[in-house]
Chain A
Amino acid sequence: MFSAKNTEKEMIFNGIPVSPGIAIGEVFVANLDELSLSDKKIDKGDVEEEIRKFKRALKQTEAELKNIKAKLARDIGEDHARIMDTHLMILDDSTMIKETEDYVRTELGNAAYALDIVLNKTLESFASMDDQYLSERAEDIHDVKRRIIRNLLGQAQEGLKDLRRKAVVVAKNLTPSDTVGFDRKYVQAFVSAIGGSTSHAAIIARSHGIPAVVGLEDFTHKVRPYDNIIVDGITGQVILRPEKSTVKLYEDARRRFAEMEKELLTLKDYPAVTLDGREFELSGNVEAIDELKDVSSHGAKGVGLFRTEYFFITRSSPPSEEVQYRYYKDVVKEMAPECVIFRTLDIGGDKIADWITNVDEANPFMGWRGIRFTLSRKDIFRSQLRAIYRASAHGKLKIMFPMISVIEEVRAAKQICGEVKEDLLKERYKINEDVEIGVMIETPSAVALAPHIAKEVDFFSIGSNDLVQYSLAVDRGNSRISYLYDPLHPVIIRFIQDTVNAAREEGIKVGLCGEMAVSEGALGVLPLIGMGLDEISAPSYLIPEIKKIIRSVTFDETRTLVKKILKFSTPHEVRELLSKYIKEKRSELTEFIPKVALDK
């Protein structure tokens, strides 16, 4: 059994900081099966004890499975509960038990590692099966394996949503389904092996104000459940099994960070206006109704991006129109009189729902996603649009389409909106017939087509995360090439400026709802101010920081900066210019640029 005591030397790792803040706590390993189990050998004299431990874990797993079976029988009926009989039989498989015990006896492997070796041999044969239905059953075996190993390692929790103690969550990767339904009060920080600054884990962490560091491949091989850990989301440092003096140092840093946050919150009721009088609308990025309270408490007005996909991903089938209507209605009512911009289902890429089958794409981020998905599943699209239009009777809302790359998509989506409205009126529903329709500008083709698209819609919202990904051809989750993912690249500034110009030409509003506004603290938001966007939308907890920056500069100064940036060819020149500006003219903003807290 792994010891909870820290007897080993402190280890320092450097990753990509993606959500600021400092956490000091104990490790909770999510996706345990994806991490390397320790192949540490046991002493010959400990063989029988190791086998007893294995048998205890089997019994514990059996009890868990029987509990689940009883619960299923109560909730959905005996017939469905019988599925657990198969899991119980796997647990009781004499061949599996014998081979695992043999491995422990002959190879002196620890039981978790032995079981992993034995079951992986079985799973390999599933991988080579031609029949998809048969090969997919491997997931059941994986599930039983995970349970036994968790019990062997003394980590009984099933997943992040079952976490019931304060912990730092460590995983190879955190997908949307991993993070759905987790309890914010238990998760102190995220650390993942893969991912860049716009990976799902990063976005979720920022939207909940949880410190996070990603891209730490080596780290996940060294970490063990219950290890003590420090996560510095400002510098990207992660310290495993820290010494007492290091903990002390970080406790001080954590206190200083909390004080700064508190001070920023005092700006809550002030407008986001520059020193020379240019006002910006600041709104929140939200993905669940319980986050709405953070929008107003952090001084944002309305929701600039309401992500609807999480409402779909958390279910085993798409939610009905009625269920969606009630949800969207609650959202607009809670936000009233402010406006909520609903982004229609943006599924695909790394956001895959269990109910979508046959998705096996070589390039999912350039595949069947966003508007492409909804236009090919009009049943789902219509029911979502019907629900949104019905909710429009209860408050102020707008509709926005994601991943537009050609103008035909805008026209097709608008046509369906028109049909849906007509149907609802015929059915005598009360709706707002003038709901504004906008699109996300997040592909290079949408930027190039912006002057044309602007004639078709009421507003633009620049999705900077994907715009960076597609413009620079960088998979945003790939840590090997994350150095190329750069919101401060002059290409991105140019594309945003082109989009703003196109919107101005047609007299429509333009906002930005990506993560660029918070890229590298003050540096990311400065060009956005200078380009004169109407609205900036960001995770709620970062709104005070953006407001502070807007209130510290003049529009004229930032506009001059943008003019210079548009002549540059490298992000290095952009950084140099912006840093120099802050150093010389607005030194009070340096506190927003990450500093190395621990220099070892």
Chain B
Amino acid sequence: MNFVLKEVTDKMKRAQVKVINENGIHLRLAGELVKNSNKFKSDILIEKNSEQINGKSILSVASLGAEYGSELTIIVNGQDENQALDSLVKLFESGFSEGEK
């Protein structure tokens, strides 16, 4: 279940993040990510190994299988894209407040 909201172009804002959580992005963290994404109006995509999924769908995020050490790209597009990107990068960097490894 991975559909793309709009065509992804090179112009879109993007940032590389790394999963530092020991158990990867499991279901609860996927929920955290989606909750954060939903605070913004912009479209949010998460890319792993060139597969892109909707960052506002818990099922899509969870089914990505982002284990510890995975490198992901966050792609945002919309009116509040800067804030969205900043917020999500911080979320990954903080290890979703699960404690850094």
Contacts and interface: CB of A to CB of B under 8 A. Distances in A.
Interface string B64-86: 11111000000000000000000
Nearest to B30: A86
B16 interface: no
**Most B CB atoms within 10 A — which of A95, A99, A128?**
A95
Contacts of A121: 1
Contact of B63 (A85, A99, A122, A131): A122
Contact of B58 (A90, A118, A128, A135): A90
A93 B53 CA distance: 13
B38 to A, nearest CB: 10
Nearest to A95: B57
Contact of A86 (B23, B31, B60): B31
Interface in B40-60: 54, 56-60
A76 interface: no
A133 B57 CA distance: 20
B60 A95 contact: yes
Contact of A130 (B31, B54, B63, B67): B67
Given A99-B1, A133-B26, A137-B27, A122 B59 contact: yes
B28 interface: yes
B17 interface: no
Contact of A118 (B1, B56, B64): B1
A96 B34 contact: no
B81 to A, nearest CB: 19
A125 B58 CA distance: 14
Nearest to B53: A95
B27 A95 contact: no
A126 B63 contact: yes
**Interface size bracket, A side:** 20 to 34
A99 B3 CA distance: 10
B62 to A, nearest CB: 6
Contacts of B67: 129-131, 134
B24 interface: yes
A86 B58 CA distance: 8
Contacts of A406: none
A94 interface: yes
**Interface size bracket, B side:** 20 to 34
B65 A126 contact: yes
Contacts of B35: 89
Contact of A141 (B34, B59, B64): B59
Nearest to A96: B59
Interface in A103-131: 118-119, 121-122, 125-126, 128-131
A361 interface: no
Given A85-B31, A89-B31, A95 B54 contact: yes
Given A95-B3, A133-B23, A134-B67, A83 B28 contact: yes
Given A131-B65, A141-B62, A94 B57 contact: yes
Contacts of B24: 131, 133-134
Nearest to B57: A95
A125 B65 contact: yes
A93 B31 CA distance: 10
A140 interface: yes
**Most A CB atoms within 10 A — which of B25, B56, B63, B68?**
B63
A119 to B, nearest CB: 8
Contact of A140 (B27, B34, B56): B27
Contacts of B26: 133-134, 137
B42 to A, nearest CB: 15
Nearest to B67: A131
Given A129-B67, A140-B27, 13 more contacts: A89-B34, A93-B60, A96-B57, A122-B59, A122-B62, A122-B63, A126-B62, A126-B63, A130-B67, A131-B65, A133-B23, A134-B26, A137-B26
